Amino acid sequence: MDLISTISEGAMKLMFNLNGWNLTTPFVHNGVAYVKPDFYPDRFIIGVSKRGYIYASGESRILYRGTTFTSIEELLNQYTKSALNDFNEWKFLEEKEWVITRDGQEFLYSFTTLDKLPKASKLRC
């Protein structure tokens, strides 16, 4: 597994809580939560605070076994969740990011990995 893109569901929830965010419903497979925004549909809200939202934004292009996919859902529909066992073989040609907005409108910050998750209070969310 890729430790930058995955974490236990409990640890992900703890990281969000410690930073002032409420985690919604992460993509989980076999007890592993996937942090990478490409695992979520565009505009999927992964976290909320009093005045802010964290949502997936952008486009995905993933090369796997000689085929380019425009979403992880498309890839998993073709290869099933067993393809997650080969996650280290996936090549991301274009990646989504997590976007933070205040009240769903004002852009504040973006990130792709959990170690870059800012405190909600720092962004006045």
Q: What angle do CA 44, 90, 113 make, to 5 degrees?
A: 45
pLDDT tens-digit readout, 35-80: 999 999 999 999 999 999 999 999 999 999 999 999 999 999 999 9
Domain positions in the chain? 6-116
Residue with tokens 């976007």: 99
Q: How confident is the model at residue 103 (pLDDT cuts 50, 70, 90)?
A: confident
Average pLDDT of the chain to the nearest whole number: 94
Residue 55: the pLDDT is: 97
pLDDT score recorded for residue 4: 80
Q: What was the pLDDT predicted at 3? A: 65
Q: How many residues does the structure list for the chain?
A: 125
DSSP letter, residue 16: H
